[in-house]
Chain A
Amino acid sequence: MTAPAHGAVTRRGPLPSPPYDIAVVGAGVVGSAIARSLAHHPHLRIALVEAEDDVGQGSSKANTAILHTGFDATPGFLEARLVREGARLLAAYAAAAGIPVEPVGALLVAWDEEQLAALPRLAEKAERNDCTDTRLIGPAELYDREPHLGPGALGALHVPGESIICPWTTNLAYATQAVRHGVDLHLNTRVERASHPDGTHHLTTSRGTLRTRWLVNAAGLHADALDRALGHDDFTVTPRRGQLLVFDKFARDLVRHILLPVPTALGKGVLVAPTVYGNVLLGPTAEDLDDKRATVSTAEGLEGLRDKGRRILPGLLDEEVTAVYAGLRAATEHEDYRISAHPERAYVTVGGIRSTGLTASLAIAAHVTDLLAGAGLALGPATELDPIRMPNLGEAFPRPYQRPELIAADPEYGTLVCHCERVTRGEIRDALTATIPPAGLDGLRRRTRARAGRCQGFYCGAAVRELFEGARK
C-alpha cells in the first residue's frame, strides 16, 4: 500500500484554479472534523478554507474545554443526539490519538433552595439523554468530594461522565489527519463573496477565487453571513462572549471535579473546572454582543467572575492568574443546531454550533457526510485513515521531559526552554516542522504550551521567539 498523498498547507499566494469536489469553509473544530471525515474518500478533491492564519482560531480555541455527556441537552434535539454520539466518538478518538482527556466528572452545586429543587429535574433530563449514572448527593458527600468548596452549598448532582479535554490538540489532530490524507488547507483565506453561476460555487476570497462543486459552511461566527451570500436566511449569529480566568497551577489541588452552576430562571452562573494542563478555569461570562471580533476582556467581566469564584472556591482567589481570555460562542435565535442540506445548491450549512461543538464535532462530521451523500455527492470508496498520535500537552500523561527513554534517544527532549510549562526544545522543534506548522507564537503556544505558564514569557519568551524565527529562516 502506498502512503496517501499529503494535501497542501498554504498561507499565501494564489489558490489552485481547478475546481475542488468539495470545500469546507472554516477550519475550526467542526470544519476540521468534517474535512477529516471527507478525507476517508480518496477520490474526492477537498479544500479546507480558513480566514485566519491557523486552524481553530475562532470559538474553537477559547472555550471551557469540556467533553460533555450531553446530560442537560434538550431531549429530541439534533444537538442532544450529536453531543451524545460525539462524546463517545471523541473519547475513543482522543485515547487513540493521544489527546489529553481526564474523566474528572462534574458536580452541579446547588447554593440555594431553588437550585436544590432543580436538581431532580436535571437528573431526570439526564436520564432521558441516556446519561444514566447521575446521582444526587448531600452536603456531607459534596464537601467530602470538594473540601475547598465555599460554605453554604446544599447539595449537588454528580455527573461522573463529564471530562476535561485539550481543545487545541483535538482541532489540530483533525486538520492534520485531513491534510495527511490529501485535503488542501488554505489559511488566510477569507471568503468575501459567494456565487453559484454554472453549477459550481465561486468563492471570492482574500486570496482570489476558489471554485468547488460542493460547499460546506462551517464558518462558525460568520456562518450566517456566508449562508446569506448563498441566498438563505435561516439564522443570525449573535456572538456571545465568554471571558475566562486561568489560575496558577498551585490552584489545581483546590478542585477535583468540574463545578457546574445549576441553571435557573435567573440565568446561568459560572463554572470552576480543572484543565488538562493542570490549571483551574473560572468562567465564562455570557454577554450578547454585535461585534464578532470583540474577544476582549473587560474590567467588569473579570471582577464579576472573581466575585462568583470567591463564593464557589474561596482559596482560588489567593492564587495568581496565569491567563485571561475571551471567546465568542456562535449563538443564534434558535435553540438547536442549524444543520441543513440544500441539494439543489450542492450546499450544506452547519450553523448555530454553540459551546457543545467540540464534544459533538465527530458526530457532526459523520452527520454532515451523510447529508452530503444523501444530497447527491458521490463519495466514492472509503478507506481507513492512518492513525495519528499527537504530542501530549496533558499533565495526566507523561510529557517528554518525564520520559527517560525519549531523552536518551534525543537529548532535545531533556532541554527545557519554557520552564513554567516544562516545554522542551524537542517539542518546539517538532511543532515547527509538523504537518501544519504554527503561524506565530500563539499558534506555537497552543501546540506546545510554550509561554503559556505563570511567567508568560518573562524567562523564556525571547528564547522561544528565537526558535520560532530560526525555523522560518
Chain B
Amino acid sequence: MTAVRHVDVLIVGAGPAGLTAAARLADAQVGRVEVLDREQQAGGVPRHCAHGGYGSWSRPLTGPAYARLLVTAAERAGAVVRTGVTALDWAGPLSLHTVGPAGPETIRARAVVLATGARERPRSARLVPGTRPAGVLTTGELQQAVHLHQQHIGERAVVVGAEDVSYAAAATVRAAGAVVVAMLTDLPRARTTPSRAADARLRQGIPLLTGTTVTELLGHARLSGVRVRHRDGRTAALPCDTVVFTGDFVPDHELARRGGLTLDTGTLGPAVDGSLRTSRPGVFAAGSVLHPVESAAIATREGAQAAGAVLEALAGVEHQDGVPLAVAPPLRWIVPNRVTPAPAESGLPHGLPYILRTTAPLTRPLLQVTQDGRTLYRQRLARALPYRPLVLSARWTHLVDPEGGPVRVTLSGR
C-alpha cells in the first residue's frame, strides 16, 4: 500500500492552463496547491515553440520564455510545481495514483484540475497506408527534436496540413536547415491568415498543394517519398526523407476517460460548464484538454476561470447540474459544452465567453442560441473563419431553463 498524502488542490499538467490556475489559487491562499507534470521540465507545449506569439501585446515573448514566466509566477505565488511525476489513474473521486523517481504516491485533494493538454494524431491514427520508415513525425516530436535536443531531422520535408501549427512546423524544418518540399492540405485553402499563407508561398517559396491527400508513404529503412493524390485524380510522388503530420489535435483525455468523466462528443475532451466543472464534483478542466487546440492565451484564461470555480467549490458553493449545449454543422464544437443558468439578479459576471469552431467560412453570419424552440440570444458576427475561434458572449445564460432540453447553438449565413 502506498501512503496517501493530502493537498488542497491538485493540478495535473504544468502547461499554460495548469500553471495559471496554480498561480491564482496559491495567490488566494487556499493551502497547498500542487501541480504535477510528467515531463522533466514544466511549461507544456510552449517549451518547444521557439517562435514568438506568446505573452501579451505589451510584452511579446517566445514560447520557452513564456513557459519560464508561467512557472516562475506559479512558484512565486506559492504553488508547488513537481516535474517528472505522472498521474497514472484515479484512486478515488478526488485522489490520484502517481509515480515518479521517488516512487509511488497517492495524492488526495479537495479539488482536482485536469490540464493535460492535447496531442496531434499521428500517421497511424490517420490510417495513412504505406511502409513504416524512419522520418515520419508530428509537429510535437519535430519541435522537441530540433529545439530541445538539437537533433538532425533530414534534408527534405513534406508538411501535411496548412493551419497555424503547420506553418510553425515548416518554420522549424527550416530552422533545422532542411528544405520544405511542399505543404499540403485536403482542404481547398490554407487554414491560416492570408498573410501567413502568402508569406510561406511567395517569400519562402514553399508550394502549397490544396485538395491533396497523402495516399502512401514510400521507402524501407528511411522515408524516400510520399505519394499524393489531388482531388481531381492526379497523383504524384514527392521525394522527401521526412514527413511531418501536423494539426488534427485530440485532447489528451486519458485521465478524464479513466475516471469515467462525461466527454463531449464534439471536442472529445471532458464536458464542462461555464465554470469549467466536469461531470464529477470537485474535478475541473482547463486548456487544450477541453478543445483541440486553442491559443495559450485562451488556455490561461481558462486556467484562471477554473481557479475561480475551485475557490467557490472550496468555499462550499453548490451548483446545479446544468443542461447540455449542442452545436450543428458547420460548427464543429463549443466550449464550455454545458450551461448552468446563472442567477440574473446576482450581478455576478456571466463567466467566460463560449468559444466555437466552424468548418466553413461565412460572412456576417448569425449565431443563434435556442432552447426547446425558444430563442435565448442572437449575435451577428463580422465573419466566421475556420482558422479562428468564434466567440459567443455568455450574456444569455440566465435565460436557460434548468429543467428544459439541451441548448442549441447554430451558425447561419445571411
User: Which residues does A use to contact B, with CB under 8 Å?
Assistant: 246, 250, 293, 295-299, 301-302, 320-325, 401-402, 404, 407-408, 411-412, 414-416, 419, 422, 440-442, 454-459, 461-463, 465-466, 469
Q: Judging by beta carbons under 8 Å apart, are B99 and A293 in contact? A: no
A-B contact pairs, 29 of them (CB 8 A): A250-B257, A296-B216, A299-B129, A299-B215, A321-B125, A323-B124, A404-B2, A407-B103, A414-B100, A414-B102, A416-B84, A416-B99, A455-B138, A455-B140, A456-B123, A456-B138, A457-B137, A457-B138, A458-B140, A458-B141, A459-B119, A459-B141, A462-B141, A462-B144, A462-B145, A462-B148, A462-B151, A463-B144, A466-B149
A295 contacts across to B, CB distance below 8 A: 131-132
Q: Judging by beta carbons under 8 Å apart, are B38 and A419 in contact? A: yes
The docked-state distance in angstroms from the alpha carbon of A325 to that of B217 is 13
Question: Quick one: which of A297, A320, A408, A419 contacts B86, CB cutoff 8 A?
Answer: A419
Q: Judging by beta carbons under 8 Å apart, are B127 and A461 in contact? A: no
Chain A min CB distance to B15 (Å): 12
B2 contacts across to A, CB distance below 8 A: 404
**Residue in chain A with minimal CB distance to B148:** A462
- Known contacts A411-B102, A414-B99, A422-B86: A321-B151 contact under CB 8 Å: no
Q: Judging by beta carbons under 8 Å apart, are B151 and A466 in contact? A: yes
Q: Judging by beta carbons under 8 Å apart, are A407 and B124 in contact? A: no
**Residue in chain B with minimal CB distance to A250:** B257
Beyond A401-B88, A404-B2, 12 additional contacts (C-beta under 8 Å) are A246-B124, A298-B129, A301-B129, A320-B125, A325-B132, A408-B103, A415-B101, A456-B123, A456-B125, A458-B138, A459-B119, A462-B151
Question: Quick one: which of A246, A323, A415, A457 contacts B84, CB cutoff 8 A?
Answer: A415
Chain B min CB distance to A93 (Å): 29
B220 at the A/B interface (Cβ < 8 Å)? yes
Q: Judging by beta carbons under 8 Å apart, are B122 and A458 in contact? A: yes
B130 at the A/B interface (Cβ < 8 Å)? yes
B103 contacts across to A, CB distance below 8 A: 404, 407-408, 414
Question: Quick one: which of B86, B88, B101, B131 contacts A407, CB cutoff 8 A?
Answer: B101
The docked-state distance in angstroms from the alpha carbon of A320 to that of B251 is 12
**Residue in chain B with minimal CB distance to A410:** B101
Chain A min CB distance to B41 (Å): 11
Q: Judging by beta carbons under 8 Å apart, are A458 and B102 in contact? A: no
Q: Judging by beta carbons under 8 Å apart, are A401 and B215 in contact? A: no
Q: Judging by beta carbons under 8 Å apart, are B122 and A457 in contact? A: yes
A-B contact count (CB 8 A): 114
The docked-state distance in angstroms from the alpha carbon of A175 to that of B99 is 33
Q: Judging by beta carbons under 8 Å apart, are A462 and B149 in contact? A: yes
B138 contacts across to A, CB distance below 8 A: 455-458, 461
Q: Judging by beta carbons under 8 Å apart, are B220 and A293 in contact? A: yes
B406 at the A/B interface (Cβ < 8 Å)? no
The docked-state distance in angstroms from the alpha carbon of A405 to that of B122 is 35
B344 at the A/B interface (Cβ < 8 Å)? no
The docked-state distance in angstroms from the alpha carbon of A442 to that of B124 is 15
A441 contacts across to B, CB distance below 8 A: 134
Question: Quick one: which of A302, A411, A422, A457 contacts B141, CB cutoff 8 A?
Answer: A457
B332 at the A/B interface (Cβ < 8 Å)? no
A459 contacts across to B, CB distance below 8 A: 39, 119, 140-141
Q: Judging by beta carbons under 8 Å apart, are B140 and A414 in contact? A: no
- Known contacts A296-B129, A302-B127: A461-B145 contact under CB 8 Å: yes
A408 contacts across to B, CB distance below 8 A: 103
Q: Judging by beta carbons under 8 Å apart, are B149 and A458 in contact? A: no
**Residue in chain A with minimal CB distance to B121:** A320
**Residue in chain A with minimal CB distance to B147:** A462
- Known contacts A457-B138, A458-B122, A458-B141: A465-B149 contact under CB 8 Å: yes
**Residue in chain B with minimal CB distance to A323:** B124
B151 contacts across to A, CB distance below 8 A: 462, 465-466, 469
A321 contacts across to B, CB distance below 8 A: 124-125, 127
**Residue in chain A with minimal CB distance to B100:** A414
The docked-state distance in angstroms from the alpha carbon of A246 to that of B125 is 10
A454 contacts across to B, CB distance below 8 A: 125
The 6 closest A-B pairs by CB, nearest first: A456-B122, A411-B101, A462-B144, A461-B141, A458-B140, A462-B145
**Residue in chain B with minimal CB distance to A299:** B129
Name which of B38, B122, B215 has the most chain A CB atoms within 10 A of its CB. Answer: B122
B120 at the A/B interface (Cβ < 8 Å)? yes
The docked-state distance in angstroms from the alpha carbon of A315 to that of B103 is 36
- Known contacts A250-B257, A466-B151: A458-B130 contact under CB 8 Å: no
A469 contacts across to B, CB distance below 8 A: 151
B250 at the A/B interface (Cβ < 8 Å)? yes
Name which of A299, A407, A414, A458 has the most chain B CB atoms within 10 A of its CB. Answer: A458
Q: Judging by beta carbons under 8 Å apart, are B148 and A296 in contact? A: no
Question: Quick one: which of A320, A412, A461 contacts B250, CB cutoff 8 A?
Answer: A320
Q: Judging by beta carbons under 8 Å apart, are B122 and A401 in contact? A: no
Question: Quick one: which of A298, A320, A401, A457 contacts B99, CB cutoff 8 A?
Answer: A401
**Residue in chain A with minimal CB distance to B220:** A293
B129 contacts across to A, CB distance below 8 A: 296-299, 301-302, 324
Chain B window 104-141, contacts with chain A (Cβ cutoff 8 Å), 1 for yes, 0 for no: 10000000000000011111110101111010011011
